[in-house]
Structure 1
């Protein structure tokens, strides 16, 4: 009798499990697809279990196997899958990432509605577990936790605080320019600028974030870079919950070693700073010092500050986000200006008029109108964030369309930045003049310019101030021209 009961329970559990799996991989996707099609929304049909992932991978491989022309028409190469979907099915379309439905929207009003996020209707889409090792801190939080972290972090990125770091920016930039001047003297020299910009950004971030502890900061940067490489390798394999992390592979052993060293270095730096603050010593004017000062005030007033682990996560995020956004912006700016020597000359004239050959100072940087226009236009054509995603937390309406709970909402930033409907017929051309009266005028107060993602910019403030410093250090003495279409190769001339 007992055996029959146990067998019955096992049968029920197995049937229940099979039903859940069947619902996940087939019944629910079919129901969601029918729901959207009945509302007049078209998209790619669902394929069992895989969705459209194979098509996405194939199109990416095909796009990147073709030669890259020297133009700003990069959408079909960077996001060919989304580009084709919008061209074929319209600006409100859908596709499948496995059994997960993703809706792509390009309407500025709908995007504004998503970012307003009333009542926390949308949350950040969960990232691959491997990526959680580097995509940490503020960008991984929602709701009250996000608001608390944002409140504590904001003071550290205030312009008045960032301008204290300008000497560190100038020191690092001057060292790079001096290196280039030794390579080139009254002649031209072909140079791959990407490695130099990676090293420069590592040095700038380390000095800006850790000040006097910048040597430890540079070591943390190296470890973060190594960890990023391991994660890229891991993403090629399937993640198995509870198993993938603990397999005794060479990759996992190296990852654990790197994580422990990073944690140890950051914990040591933070604890020393906190002990100094308790003894009444003044906070350092680096990002970590400003963050810890703001965190201490939050703890004293509301007792809801960040823990050491949370501070460490924010440091990791600053390294990851700051390095990627800034290095990329610097390279694309040099490439674009090498393609448009007229704007390179305008920028040079502005820098010389404001600073001559003196060291750039903060107030002067605020008056770099042409340089700022150029940076905005580069960010429009080559945004660091090409697609953003959110997940519906409940059944809701987006505009007039019913969106079921769990559906992902994709905001293709790159596609919007290159839209002729939103930016005019010259949308895929380099025209900094469109920003001559500021972002609001250029966008007609629409949510269509989102190079760093939605919402107020934090790391973007740093990512603009530092390139301006390099621009001023470099533009007045150096002429750039592009020599290769597919690499970050620049020909430098220093008279």
Structure 2
């Protein structure tokens, strides 16, 4: 295969990527710098710099083409001819974590996507997110005509209340917001996914958090056939966690099924919406059997935890860090939030009118995308950019490199400039579209609306109550794990308004 690729192009070298290659190429980041691509994906960043936006390298025995050309990136992820699929070596790890939508192919993926799209439609989110709340907050706030206060706003309000109470009589306090936002996201996911089964959902969140960390460790080991079946400590722990999560989820699903049969189920949470959509899909297909089995629903719920537990947490964390670095934008965002909501609880309609906050979050997603890199595999011989590739070639798609490409965004690419999104996403880059924080094409993240809704609500509540700045103890060190995380935490000094 190497000789075939050599004769056809593209540029590059046959490099065997060792386990420590990325660490050797990583570069530190200064406090005010947002040039994080070389640190986030050091190996791919170096290859692109040396050999251009389509370059050949090798990951052990596997040929690997690094693609950072936005046009080819879109072509691969659009996959109009069905020749590009999820990388099979990565699918093995993903299925250990959550055998859900992202690991399915073909007809099963199409059927599951239809059902889950229904659950994540904005109007469904509006109702399901509004339905789950802290009971003590409901007593304090009159119910919204559509039902109740949004779950994320309720959880954010509780967070702000707790921050304020820990300050006591003091007007300012330092807080590491990174673990705070991780816990916040866990509360939201558990409440929105399961409603009244919140405590059981919280236990699942903790187990899936550990699974995500273990999956990253496994992904950093070069693929060895049969490795995941060896009785290593890591493999044993992952299997034990998976069994416990499945028992908990099946228990919740069984109780919900009984409640639905008795007519006592409140199906405003995502589990209920998914189960109703599953029944409707089967009825429309004329089948007596549900499209998704209980095991399928378990897989999708596990995936929801894995995909959602860090996306919003890192987005809110970097938003607070960047707004601390750029107080003029913090002031503009606060002015907008107070103009739209005053001191009232943020609502769905008002969230959709927040232009400055949206621009800020888009710029944070550009500079610090939650998905750093995607992988695809050519399932059959395929042509891309005038080059024919044999089946089995993998394609690395470093989103963070495209987001930091001066040819695409201009010479100010590494600067925090939310105004570049003033006319929306389409007009933000020279090469439109080139903004891929949640992927692209038919497999784009189904929960992107949910994540942005969470982030807008959370940031709005915080801006209503606090001014914030970086603590002297903060070290700017974005670290690639499963997402781009603050290696030493995010210490922020909060001041009550």
Q: Shorter chain as normaliser: what TM range?
A: 0.7 to 0.9
User: Aligned residue for 2:382?
Assistant: 396
**8 A contact 1:70–1:485 mirrored in 2:** no
Task: Tell me the SS of whatever aligns to 2:358.
Answer: helix
User: Aligned residue for 1:4?
Assistant: none
| In structure 2, C-alpha distance between the alignment counterparts of 1:415 and 1:469, rounded to whole Å | 29
Task: Tell me the SS of whatever aligns to 1:129.
Answer: helix
Query: Is the alpha carbon distance of 1:404 and 1:251 closer, same or farther for their aligned partners in structure 2, counting shifts above 3 Å?
Result: closer
Query: Is the alpha carbon distance of 1:444 and 1:271 closer, same or farther for their aligned partners in structure 2, counting shifts above 3 Å?
Result: farther
User: Aligned residue for 1:161?
Assistant: 124
User: Aligned residue for 1:262?
Assistant: 245
* Shift in Å, 1:283: 4.5
**8 A contact 1:36–1:42 mirrored in 2:** no
Segment drifting more, 262-271 vs 344-353? 262-271
* Shift in Å, 1:107: 2.3
User: Aligned residue for 2:185?
Assistant: 201
User: Aligned residue for 2:112?
Assistant: 149
Counterpart of 2:308 (choices 303, 322, 325) is: 322
Segment drifting more, 217-226 vs 121-130? 121-130
| In structure 2, C-alpha distance between the alignment counterparts of 1:394 and 1:236, rounded to whole Å | 27
**8 A contact 2:425–2:433 mirrored in 1:** no
1:440 has 2:426 as partner: yes
Segment drifting more, 439-448 vs 281-290? 439-448
User: Aligned residue for 1:492?
Assistant: 494
**1:317-367: per-residue Cα shift (whole Å, max 9, x none)?**
110110121111111111010000000000000000011101111100000
- 1:358-377 → structure 2 map (5 Å cutoff): 358-377=344-363
**8 A contact 1:283–1:290 mirrored in 2:** no
* Shift in Å, 1:243: 6.1
Calculate the TM-score normalised by the size of structure 2: 0.87
User: Aligned residue for 2:260?
Assistant: 277
User: Aligned residue for 1:294?
Assistant: 277
The gaps in structure 1 that reach 5 residues or longer are 1-27
Task: Tell me the SS of whatever aligns to 2:433.
Answer: coil
1:453 has 2:439 as partner: yes
1:75 has 2:77 as partner: no
Counterpart of 1:472 (choices 455, 460, 474) is: 460
**8 A contact 2:160–2:465 mirrored in 1:** no
* Shift in Å, 1:256: 3.2
| In structure 2, C-alpha distance between the alignment counterparts of 1:180 and 1:371, rounded to whole Å | 22
Query: Is the alpha carbon distance of 1:60 and 1:136 closer, same or farther for their aligned partners in structure 2, counting shifts above 3 Å?
Result: farther
**8 A contact 2:194–2:201 mirrored in 1:** yes
Higher radius of gyration, 1 or 2 = 1
**1:11-43: per-residue Cα shift (whole Å, max 9, x none)?**
xxxxxxxxxxxxxxxxx33x2342334xxx211
Higher relative contact order (CA 8 A, sep 6+): 2
* Shift in Å, 1:449: 0.6
Query: Is the alpha carbon distance of 1:79 and 1:264 closer, same or farther for their aligned partners in structure 2, counting shifts above 3 Å?
Result: same
User: Aligned residue for 1:216?
Assistant: 200
* Shift in Å, 1:69: 3.6
**8 A contact 1:101–1:408 mirrored in 2:** yes
- Paired residue total: 456
The gaps in structure 2 that reach 5 residues or longer are 131-149, 477-487
- 1:23-42 → structure 2 map (5 Å cutoff): 28-29=1-2, 31-37=3-9, 41-42=10-11
RMSD of the alignment, in Å? 2.0
**8 A contact 2:214–2:238 mirrored in 1:** yes
| In structure 2, C-alpha distance between the alignment counterparts of 1:443 and 1:70, rounded to whole Å | 23
- 1:372-391 → structure 2 map (5 Å cutoff): 372-391=358-377
- 1:3-18 → structure 2 map (5 Å cutoff): none
**8 A contact 1:53–1:96 mirrored in 2:** no
Query: Is the alpha carbon distance of 1:369 and 1:208 closer, same or farther for their aligned partners in structure 2, counting shifts above 3 Å?
Result: same
**8 A contact 1:60–1:79 mirrored in 2:** no
| In structure 2, C-alpha distance between the alignment counterparts of 1:348 and 1:183, rounded to whole Å | 23
Calculate the TM-score normalised by the size of structure 1: 0.87
Counterpart of 2:54 (choices 74, 84, 92) is: 92
